[in-house]
Amino acid sequence: MNGKRIDRRMFLKTTAAGALAFPMIVRSSALGKAGTVAPSERVTMGFIGVGGMGTNNMRAFLAQPDVQVLAVCDPVRASEEYGHWYKKGWNGAWFGREPAARIVEDDYAHKAGSGQYKGCAAYVDFRDLIARDDIDAVCIATPDHWHAICAIQAAAAGKDIYCEKPMTLTIAEGRAVAEAVRQYHVVFQTGTQRRSSQLYRFICEVVRNGRIGKLQRALVAIGPNNKQAPPSDWKPMPVPEWLDYEMWLGPAPWAPYHKDRCLYTFRFGADYSGGQTTNLGAHGIDIVQWANGTDDTGPVEIEDLGGEFPTDGLFTTATKVHFRARYANGAELVCRTQEDEIYRFEGTEGWIQVPTYSDEITCQPESLKTTVIGPDEIHLYESNDHHRNFVDCIKTRGQTAAPVEVGHRSVTICHLGNIAMQLKSKLRWDPVAELFTDSHEANTLLSRAMRSPWHL
C-alpha cells in the first residue's frame, strides 16, 4: 500500500486526537451521516471532471455515508450553455466546478440541518487536487483523452481511482495505466457499471456455464451518433470566459474552439475519444469479455466489416460501426451500429439476448430465464452497486468489480475495431504482446503523440 495513505490512516487510527486531526475545516456534525462515521473509516474523495457523468458519480459517492468529498476540479467554471445540453435528463443542473462544489456544500449543509457548510475546494488544475495528501481517492470523468494522464498521476500519488469508461484513448495508454496501478498498489474501478448489475451477471453466468452450449457469436449492437455534427463549413468560436480551453485540450493537438468540440460532443472527435465504438461499445464489449471468460486477454483477429467515417467536418469518429473480432476459443464478437441496441449471445444449443436499456431477456430455450446456477457451477464476481463496491474495496484493498486489467482489455477491443475500420483491414492481433503481427501501419496506431508539455 502507498506510504502516504498508511501514514494518514495510521495517524487517524492511532491518535486520540483523530477527530481533531481530520483535515477538514468544519465540525464533523456538518457531514450529517458521514459525521457519524469515525474519521479513520471515512474515504475522502476528489472529483476530476464534473460534467454530466462526473457530477452523476459525485452524487452517488455523496450518498455513501462513509465518503467525504473534499474537492472538485474542472476547467469549466460553470456554464449555462452547458446546462441546457442536459436540461431534461439531469434535473436542469449546470455543470462545472462551481456548481459541483455547491452541490457538495448544500448536501452536507442539508444533512447537518445547519444550512451552512464550507469545505469543498474547486480547482482548475487536477494536479492541485492530486497534490493534496488528505484525499484518498479520485473519480476521473474527464473526456477520454485525459483519463490516462490523470490516472497515472493519481496512482503515483497513492490515490485509489474510479475511472470512467472508456478507460483510455489508446491501447498503449491502457497498458501504462495498468502498470501504474500495479506499481503503486492502488485500487481501481473502471466505470463500466454493468459489472455491478445482477442482470448482466446472470446472463454471463448462463453463457459461462454452457446453458446455450458453446458460445459461437456475440453481437453488441450500439446506437448511432446521437448528436448532429455542425455543418462542414463550421467556423471557430470565441472561447467562453467560463472555460480554460488550454486545460480542456491538454495533450490533444491544438484546435480552434467550437462548442461542439467540447462538452459531451467530444465523443465524436477522434482526438478526444473513439466515438460510439468506445462510448457505447465499452459497455457491451466488456460484457462479452465477461461472458466469454477472456477478461485477462483478447481476440486474435480483428476485421472491418464496412465501418464508415466522415470525410470532413468537426466530427471525425465512425458514423457507422461494423467490425468482427475472433477469439482463440473460436467465439466471435460482432459490434455494429443498429437502432435497437442489444447484446446477444448465440451458442451451439441456444441463444440469449437483452436490449441495453431494459431487463427484458429473450432467449431460446425459454427455460433459460429461470435457470438456477448451481453451487458447483461458475459464479461470477458479485457486486450490486458499482460505487459502493469501489468504497468497500478501498477499505479491504480487495479487487473491484471492474479492475484495471478488465477495463484495459475491454477497451482494447474497441480500439482494435476502430483501427481495423480505419485501415479497412483484417488484422492479426497478439493479445499477449499487445501487438499486431501482420501490420506495421496498424502498430503505429497503438499510441499517439501528446501535445507538450503533457506526457504519460
Ligand X SMILES: NC(=O)c1ccc[n+]([C@@H]2O[C@H](COP(=O)([O-])OP(=O)(O)OC[C@H]3O[C@@H](n4cnc5c(N)ncnc54)[C@H](O)[C@@H]3O)[C@@H](O)[C@H]2O)c1
By the criterion CB under 6 A, which residues form the site for ligand X?
48-49, 51-54, 73-76, 95, 126, 141-144, 146, 164-166, 191, 193, 247-248, 250, 263-264, 266, 279
Q: Angle CA(247)–CA(251)–CA(257) in degrees, nearest 5? A: 55
Phi and psi of 441, rounded to 5°?
A: -60, -45
User: Residue written as cell 483491414?
Assistant: 425
Measure CA of the first residue to CA of the last residue in the chain; give whole Å: 22
**Smallest gap from residue 303 Cβ to ligand X (A):** 25
Nearest residue (CB) to ligand X, 111 versus 195: 195
Please say which residue, 119 or 407, places its beta carbon nearer to ligand X: 407
Give 177 or 212: the residue with its C-beta nearer to ligand X. Answer: 177
Question: Given the complex with ligand X, which of 102 and 217 has the nearer CB atom?
Answer: 102
Please, what is the minimum distance in Å from the beta carbon of residue 411 to ligand X? 10
How far, in Å, CA of 23 to CA of 108, rounded? Answer: 16
On the 0-12 / 13-18 / 19+ scale of CB atoms within 10 A, 228 is: exposed
461472458: which residue's cell? 291
Q: Which residue, 126 or 351, is less far from ligand X as judged by CB?
A: 126
Give residue number: closest CB to ligand X.
51
Q: What is the C-alpha to C-alpha distance for residues 119 and 456, in angstroms, rounded to an integer?
A: 31
Q: Which is nearer to ligand X, 166 or 174 (CB)?
A: 166
User: CB 398 → ligand X: shortest distance, Å?
Assistant: 21
Q: Closest CB to ligand X among 418 and 439?
A: 418
Tell me the closest approach of the beta carbon of residue 174 to ligand X, in angstroms.
13
Give the shortest CB-227-to-ligand X separation in angstroms: 11
Residue nearer to ligand X on the CB measure, 193 or 277? 193
Smallest gap from Cβ 368 to ligand X, in A, equals 27
Could you give the CA distance from residue 136 to residue 113 in angstroms, rounded to a whole number? 27
- Written as nine digits, the cell of 321 is 460501426
Beta strands in 149-287 (DSSP E): 160-163, 188-190, 215-222
- Nearest 5°: CA angle at 268, between 123 and 188? 50
> To the nearest whole angstrom, how small is the minimum distance from the Cβ of residue 271 to ligand X?
13
Q: Coil, helix or strand for 425? A: coil
CB 74 within 8 A of CB 49: yes
- What does the CA dihedral 444, 272, 336, 202 come to, rounded to 10 degrees? 110
Closer residue to ligand X, CB minimum distance, 138 or 393: 138
| Distance of closest approach, residue 211 Cβ to ligand X, in angstroms | 28
Least distance between ligand X and beta carbon 74 (Å): 4
CA pair distance 312, 236, nearest whole angstrom:
15
* DSSP letter, residue 283: H
Q: How many CB atoms lie within 10 A of CB 278?
A: 26
